[in-house]
Structure 1
Amino acid sequence: MSVQSLPAYFFTPQHIILVGASERPHSLGERILTALLNAPFQGKITPVNPRHKTIAGLTSYTNVARLEETADLVITVTPPETYESLFKACRKKQLHHVIIIQDWDNLPPEAWETAAAAIRKHHGEKLNISVCNPAGAQIPTQGLNAGILPDYPAGHVAVLTGQASLSSEINVLLRKMKQGVSRHISLNYDLSPTTSADWLNRFGHKRHTRAAVIHFNPRENLRKLFSAIRYFTRHTPIILHCTHHADSVERSILHCLGRHCNFIATFNSSELEAALHAHLSALQPASTLNVLSNTPVAWLQEKAVQSGISLVMPSEKPHIDQAYIGSNPSPMLYRSLAVGQLQQHQTEALLAVVAPTAEHNENTLTGVLSALQQPDGKPLLISSPFSDGLLQFDRPEQAVKALSLRNIAAHLQNEQNKTAKPRPAYIKTPQLKNLPKLLETQDFAQLAKNLHLPDYRPQATHVGAQLTFTRHPAYGIILSCTYNGRTRTVLPPFSTLDGEKLIRFADLKTKQKHICQLLHSLNTLLEQEQYFGSIIINLCGDTLTSDFRPSENEIQAIVSKDQKRPAAATVPRKNLTAAEFISTTSEAAAEFIRSKSEAAAEFLAGKADTAAPPENVRAPYPSGYPQKITLPDGETLRIRPFTPEDAEAKQAFVRSLSPESRYFRFMAQTNELPQATLARFSNLDYYSEGAWIAENSDGLIQGISRFSRLTRDECEFGLTLAENARGKGLAIELMRLIIRLATQQGYQSMSAEILKSNQAMLKLARKLGFALSDSNTDKDLYQARLSLLPQPTAPKRKFRQ
């Protein structure tokens, strides 16, 4: 995880340095300075130009090195050959944040190479660089417009794009809906080391943003991006807009990620507009839609069926015939009919279609109907040539699409509250010891048996449904199911919840045991890094069969790995404080350093090694588990990462605790976890959070430790022990596991609020090195915080003999 120390400087800047500011007409420096002054920016602007002492009446400096004051942000519009010296000056003056704005489309490849070299060299902890196209960045509420586009109206939509033209298009759509922007930035995705994921992490709180539009960049680190999206959508909806061609498999992958991360993916301008209507309006979900129209609309039925909407075409003589009310209704007649439909008990929502009339009164019709739209009433959607607002549309099919996407958004929100069922007892774990030999000899029949898959039968015919386990060139390992011309994809690590989705999608109820076994076998292959190529499961009639498409390169990697397999890792047991543990664990420190420069590493990797296979878009569970630990009293416990299938056991564990223990842990009088909380605790993203579970020999939970993201740099932990597991040293073991994993993920600190009456937890926190202070929000709480930064090594001193 890339958690960089990037404060919200950009959204509260007090002083901006504009390098390349100019008075020369139509130059980029003149256009950006004009935009900043015209907005007007509420802070201080300092121009830098080597040829002028003043620009636009502002004192100008010849270079950054001559500045006497510090600044929050440096914006440069100078050509790439100036970047090397500029970045050096910024580092020397401790100016930490630079945004480059340039008309990249009109620069030659050599200029791109020059820019890339300077950015690679200087971007990092001491200097954070973002590269923008001419659309730049805007915060309308602060009068900040650092770009060539007209001032954005202030509003509640955050926009992040990779093209200036798309920024303009979204601005037009929002203006038409009478909506505005809370913040906007348009990056050069090919050059900017600060990615869309990094900027999404800066987009802030729901107080100023009601929805965000993210222009999907498939070339950045997708695991990091979708982790950032998942966290952001906990408080604010996201529309992920794709402008590249996405085939049916990629679309199904993005829909799968949408279910995991709670976002809507759109693939054209019409879908984007409909999604904005769905998220920004007060439109409520509805499965049926009544229709009135002054033009025949029977053709809309097919569009509605494709969108999962059931249209109601009323017929009420003498005025309504299959939703058609005549081509030239009076405004009062249309209003009366609309009121009648809205007042009917069974009406969920109404679509009123206004087409041009012989009397040219469609504007009046639209106005009369608009007056019926009430925020707390039944939804009234209007399709009209004079559409203007969140529930008004240019075309009726767009209204249907908006309602469909609103239903999808509600469905996705419900998906976040679902938990996986426990893994069935009949599941068998594959033994992979002979896998290299079976692959070398191509004994696929025995391979299918060893993996507990259906019988091997190559080149199956009359296939009804097909499941394909393979590696996608961008998203890593996937399992896609094709049935009746449609595709559904699930992504590893697979859970029983994924099995339920596949069974419902392809009508595989009678094959439930086979699907559950398949997912477990595939998980085992991935956990042991034994992917050898595509595995295909075919449903032919009522019979499932297996087929294999091995990859020579993957087989060679497995055979080579088998010949030099390292010894298994063990759980650290040394009795150290957390601070000592972090400073003496080189793996954690190395991983921390890696994560802190991850954006730059991605930038370099994108230009270099393209042969390495893509990592899976969802983070795997920590490797090397389960493991056994022996406590000081001699009891042996099994330690492993928490999985979605543990949800039911987790709830039973919480119910088994004493009322006092539950109150200490959750700070509320509760007998069990609410379903939404249980789902959030169980469906983890191991890129930015994690949890560990300890079980005894009977499989009963003895303890759970977990942490989740609080901010970009800080995570929050929780620890729960069974009543009979306390005072045995288990708490320290579980805490050390989450401390190590949080450090590896790049967090700088770990914290929690602890009741002052919870003496056992306070004692443990002190022992692990947490600093305790009074909470700012509750006098009965302590705030416990632990630094996860590597401890600096004291310099060695030389003494004279």
Structure 2
Amino acid sequence: MGKHYHVTGKHYLNALFSPQSIALFGASEKPNTVGGRVFANLLSGGFSGPVYPINPKYQTILDHTCYANVESIDQDIDLVIVATPAATVPEIIRSCGKRNVKAAIVLSAGFGEIEGGKALEHALLEAARDNGIRILGPNCLGFMRPALGLNATFSNNISHAGNLALVSQSGAICTAVLDWADSHQIGLSSMVSIGDANDLDFGDILDYLALDPETEGVLLYIEGIRNARSFMSGLRALARIKPVIVIKAGRHPEGSKAALSHTGSLVGADDVFDAALSRAGVVRAYTIEQLFSAARLLSSSCRIRGNRLAIITNAGGPGVMATDCAVEQGIQLAEISEATRSKLDSVLPAHWSRNNPIDILGDATPDRYRTAVEICLADEGVDGVLVMLTPQAMTAPAQAAEAVVEAASKQDKPVLTCWMGERLVAEGREVFIKSQVPTFSNPESALQAFGFLAQFQHNQALLMQVPGPLEATDAPDVEGARLIIECALAENRRLLSGLETRAVLRAFNINMLPAMPARTPNEALAVTEYLGAPVAMKILSPDITHKSDVGGVRLGINSAQAARQAYAEMLDNVKQHNPDATLEGVSIEKMYTGANGREILIGVINDPIFGPVVTCGSGGIAVEVLRDRVIALPPLNAAIAHSMISRTRVAKLLGRFRHLPPANIDALVSVLLGVSAMVCELPEIQEMDINPLMVDDEGAWSLDARIVVGNHANMHHYSHMAVHPYPTKWIQNIQLSDGTGIVLRPIRPEDANMVKDFVRSMSPEARYFRFMDTVKELSPTMLMRFTQLDYAREFAFIAVLEQGEFEAPLGIARYVGNPDHESGEFDIGVADDWQHKGIGTRLMTCLMQAAREQGLHAITADVLVSNTKMTRLLGDLGFDSHTSSNDPSLLRVSKKL
């Protein structure tokens, strides 16, 4: 039962992407105005629905009746486009609300992007929200949907229908890409200029494109992110299904923020953006040229299963160049099998290279190109082929291109081409363009494009990781740690004391060597005697963050007497460096005496956009110089932690190295997981360093740490994080009325096959009640949307019966939040043989509790009137119901939470 716009019904942006009728405010007959250009584009693009110009100054425009206002149009309107002065826009939106318009494109500028425009921006948003209208813009170029003949822009560019979508914050980038795409005969499924994105942002647009059948790949141009959770949610949903290439401007912002930790000085906003993209399973380009290279490959519908590439060339030099570039891109040169080498021997001249790159020599004929490509594509060890040609005396570029196109059509592996030169190879490139075979003018661009899609394939593994907040750690004392932080904040302190820091780390099972404070020279003597030499001495001061910078660290103190003397010397030294600092004594700490330790830094910063991020790399006093760090968004699990460690430069020192045994990587992973759990559960943590973390063959010990905290308005659990953890707290072992024990838990990505089998096993009647359709099984896209969730905006529970190592699905319930962020649409299904056992009630009770915790105020669904079992269940749970005004066979059920 149940129906939701994301899966089985219309998406809430359907009025924008697939309008049946359009009205244009500010239409004009003057071609040099925004309204005139847009109206001309709407008429010339081939849009089949009615277009109503609105402007009180005209009776007709271009032979179309012109209306004074929207009220005078007596037909339904799906989409309005506004090209009038900014001050008029809020009232226009209110008038459209009275006509039940659902979407608007506001081209007008003069809102939040100018001084004094914030009030007008607020008025626009208020008018839109009060009337249920979604706004694209303002201050945007507009929108294209070429397959519908819809060109709602004031651009002179046109676009052919294709499978590639472009979403950009910059209108200028849109026009550049449109011009390039037209000249290369690459079509677009959509072009969306989001402008100031005051309402519809990247997350909303990407959510639609994820399920858009016209779109097979997406290009994003980003200048800044407003809502990280929405962005990550939409991006992850899209990347699970389709390849995404992102380019971001502003990689090197001027200035640097004042940081209280090493980590804060090491990590910049661009590092965090990279980490976010990796976690979302997408790939980043760094130049417009790279974006164009990726677009060529995406538009051809090429999909890559691996990164093993064969290179075919008619000249050795270009083959070597391509090989160098492939290595730099992390692309693996395919190992040519003996069977493939034998086949090539039989058709190539005796002096061919006999290895990859495959040099088929300068006199290569079109037939030689065709045969070589066919043989390489048939090799199971080859994931793709780059075919290169340089124009030589005996070369026939156009005919060779036709031969390559023929060979490529027989396999679904990607074939990339690089006909090097200009005039002599132009005809050959035209052959590739017309056949939609990706072609490039140089090997670097071709390999960058292949590398992007290979990296996308690799990143999908990271996207599938859905760690819980306390992944693989012993149960931490979250409440104890929280109380320590609350006490510090109550005293208006941001930097935790050494003792407080130790206690918080210990609460999350991170080891530190024993330590005690000393506030006099004699106490320093006594503590050293108690702990046992050798010890380290560190200054205690709320005003000093980096102790070694002011002479506040002394290592290797070998006796109690030496500790007493060192105490006085240290305080005098620190006072000379920082006479205004409050000195509270010293901390005496047991020295690490292992001979096999490696120094690691593990840190945390709180990014203003993406929330907490965890970094790992080389530690010690030279961290800012070494700048060895790998960054990841929490939550982490063991797989993500291992991936982080392997990408650091210090990783080379963690294995067996000269006389040193291998470091205990599991202990290092455990610390990373403890830090991840800490930042998941304690949003007050703003910055943290564990430096150095000493890792040897026996374990890992924090030798020094600092934690910076701040107040946090935590409206909902994990609201401070860009990636919502797997909600382990909802896992329940329950017993049915007949004594059967089952598990009820949130759904996971690996449940896809189980969900598929569950739907397939339902009776035709149950499937019809559930989907209101004769669907027999879920498509791969629907399966991904059911099982790969962003638990912040959607939730699904599955009830399973454990049968040894296997689980049998008994029932599934889910909701997806509506765009208003206050309500959600739900659906539920229970296996035919397991009905009337209370499973449906249990599932719905958990679903309502989860929705309430995420801030929803109501959940709703459409139920067939004939589905009496479901209406009875929902009635018992207190749902209200009434007959749908649009369809008497449906009941609209709802419940306030």
TM bracket (short chain): 0.7 to 0.9
- Give matches, 1:514-663, under 5 Å: 514-516=668-670, 518-520=672-674, 522-524=676-678, 526-529=680-683, 531=685, 533-536=687-690, 538-539=693-694, 544-546=700-702, 550=706, 554=710, 557=711, 615-619=720-724, 642=746
Distance in 1, Cα, partners of 2:756 & 2:19: 46
Distance in 1, Cα, partners of 2:412 & 2:731: 58
Distance in 2, Cα, partners of 1:108 & 1:249: 25
Distance in 2, Cα, partners of 1:32 & 1:499: 51
- What do residues 45-75 of structure 1 show as CA deviations (whole Å, max 9, x unaligned)? 2222232211111122233344444422221
Question: Does structure 1 conserve the Cα–Cα contact (< 8 Å) formed by 2:510 and 2:674?
Answer: no
The secondary structure found in structure 2 opposite 1:433 is helix
- What do residues 171-201 of structure 1 show as CA deviations (whole Å, max 9, x unaligned)? 2443455331222221212x53222222333
The secondary structure found in structure 2 opposite 1:149 is coil
2:38 to 20, 29, 32: 32
Correspondence 1:163 to 2:170: yes
**Greater displacement, 28-37 / 361-370:** 361-370
Distance in 1, Cα, partners of 2:37 & 2:868: 62
- What do residues 595-647 of structure 1 show as CA deviations (whole Å, max 9, x unaligned)? xxxxxxxxxxxxxxxxxx99321235679x579999999x9x99997496x97
- What do residues 740-770 of structure 1 show as CA deviations (whole Å, max 9, x unaligned)? 433646597555999x9x9987753442238
**TM superposition shift of 1:278:** 4.0
**TM superposition shift of 1:321:** 8.5
Distance in 1, Cα, partners of 2:349 & 2:413: 21
1:470 to 592, 605, 609: 605
Partner of 2:563: none
**TM superposition shift of 1:153:** 0.4
Q: Normalised by the size of structure 1, how large is the TM-score?
A: 0.72
Correspondence 1:453 to 2:510: yes
1:329 to 363, 369, 372: 363
**TM superposition shift of 1:474:** 2.0
Partner of 1:342: 376
Partner of 2:631: 489
Distance in 2, Cα, partners of 1:178 & 1:318: 39
Partner of 1:119: 124
Question: Does structure 1 conserve the Cα–Cα contact (< 8 Å) formed by 2:469 and 2:726?
Answer: no
**TM superposition shift of 1:288:** 3.4
Correspondence 1:736 to 2:845: yes
Check 1:679–1:157 CA distance in 2 against 1; reply closer, same or farther (3 A cut): closer
1:271 to 267, 286, 290: 290
Correspondence 1:308 to 2:330: yes
**TM superposition shift of 1:690:** 2.5
Question: Does structure 1 conserve the Cα–Cα contact (< 8 Å) formed by 2:727 and 2:746?
Answer: no
In structure 2, give the amino acid aligned to 1:736.
T
Distance in 2, Cα, partners of 1:654 & 1:377: 26
Check 1:654–1:212 CA distance in 2 against 1; reply closer, same or farther (3 A cut): closer
**TM superposition shift of 1:23:** 1.8
Question: Does structure 2 conserve the Cα–Cα contact (< 8 Å) formed by 1:331 and 1:368?
Answer: no
Distance in 2, Cα, partners of 1:421 & 1:99: 40
**TM superposition shift of 1:142:** 1.9
Distance in 1, Cα, partners of 2:171 & 2:369: 42
- Give matches, 1:735-754, under 5 Å: 735-742=844-851, 744=854, 746=856, 749=859
Gaps of 5+ in 1: 562-586, 592-612, 668-672, 775-782, 792-801
Partner of 1:707: 814
Question: Does structure 1 conserve the Cα–Cα contact (< 8 Å) formed by 2:859 and 2:894?
Answer: yes
**TM superposition shift of 1:161:** 1.2
Check 1:33–1:95 CA distance in 2 against 1; reply closer, same or farther (3 A cut): same
Partner of 2:264: none
1:216 to 200, 214, 222: 222
Distance in 2, Cα, partners of 1:256 & 1:205: 25
In structure 2, give the amino acid aligned to 1:453.
I
- CA RMSD, 1 decimal: 5.5
Distance in 1, Cα, partners of 2:19 & 2:781: 37
1:188 to 183, 195, 214: 195
**TM superposition shift of 1:130:** 2.3
Question: Does structure 1 conserve the Cα–Cα contact (< 8 Å) formed by 2:54 and 2:67?
Answer: yes
The secondary structure found in structure 1 opposite 2:158 is coil
Distance in 1, Cα, partners of 2:388 & 2:94: 61
**TM superposition shift of 1:426:** 7.5
Question: Does structure 1 conserve the Cα–Cα contact (< 8 Å) formed by 2:164 and 2:215?
Answer: yes
**TM superposition shift of 1:35:** 0.9
- What do residues 208-232 of structure 1 show as CA deviations (whole Å, max 9, x unaligned)? 2222223335332110122122333
- What do residues 462-521 of structure 1 show as CA deviations (whole Å, max 9, x unaligned)? 966433222123211111223697654332333344334345545578331452354146
Check 1:704–1:178 CA distance in 2 against 1; reply closer, same or farther (3 A cut): same
Distance in 2, Cα, partners of 1:357 & 1:617: 55
Question: Does structure 1 conserve the Cα–Cα contact (< 8 Å) formed by 2:509 and 2:674?
Answer: no
Correspondence 1:442 to 2:498: yes
- What do residues 700-738 of structure 1 show as CA deviations (whole Å, max 9, x unaligned)? 9999865254986864545779x99985x7863542231
**TM superposition shift of 1:273:** 2.8
Question: Does structure 1 conserve the Cα–Cα contact (< 8 Å) formed by 2:470 and 2:673?
Answer: no
Gaps of 5+ in 2: 254-266, 342-347, 489-495, 514-535, 539-547, 549-591, 619-625, 655-662, 771-777
**Greater displacement, 300-309 / 512-521:** 512-521
Check 1:20–1:789 CA distance in 2 against 1; reply closer, same or farther (3 A cut): farther
**TM superposition shift of 1:356:** 4.6
Partner of 1:54: 60
Partner of 2:415: 380
Distance in 2, Cα, partners of 1:767 & 1:614: 33
Partner of 2:657: none
Question: Does structure 1 conserve the Cα–Cα contact (< 8 Å) formed by 2:140 and 2:171?
Answer: yes
Correspondence 1:393 to 2:500: no
Check 1:355–1:422 CA distance in 2 against 1; reply closer, same or farther (3 A cut): same
How many residue pairs match? The answer is 714
Question: Does structure 2 conserve the Cα–Cα contact (< 8 Å) formed by 1:182 and 1:208?
Answer: yes
**Greater displacement, 46-55 / 485-494:** 485-494
In structure 2, give the amino acid aligned to 1:60.
C
Partner of 2:317: 296
The secondary structure found in structure 2 opposite 1:526 is helix
Distance in 2, Cα, partners of 1:240 & 1:67: 41
In structure 2, give the amino acid aligned to 1:288.
L
**TM superposition shift of 1:279:** 3.4
The secondary structure found in structure 2 opposite 1:199 is helix
Distance in 2, Cα, partners of 1:381 & 1:470: 42
**TM superposition shift of 1:308:** 2.4
The secondary structure found in structure 2 opposite 1:37 is helix
Correspondence 1:136 to 2:142: yes
- What do residues 97-116 of structure 1 show as CA deviations (whole Å, max 9, x unaligned)? 322114679x9935845742
Distance in 2, Cα, partners of 1:528 & 1:254: 22
Distance in 2, Cα, partners of 1:343 & 1:502: 34
Partner of 2:664: 510
In structure 1, give the amino acid aligned to 2:129.
G
Distance in 1, Cα, partners of 2:17 & 2:779: 36
Distance in 2, Cα, partners of 1:705 & 1:392: 47
Q: Percent identity?
A: 18
Question: Does structure 1 conserve the Cα–Cα contact (< 8 Å) formed by 2:841 and 2:873?
Answer: yes
Larger radius of gyration: 2
**Greater displacement, 426-435 / 456-465:** 456-465
Distance in 1, Cα, partners of 2:42 & 2:72: 22
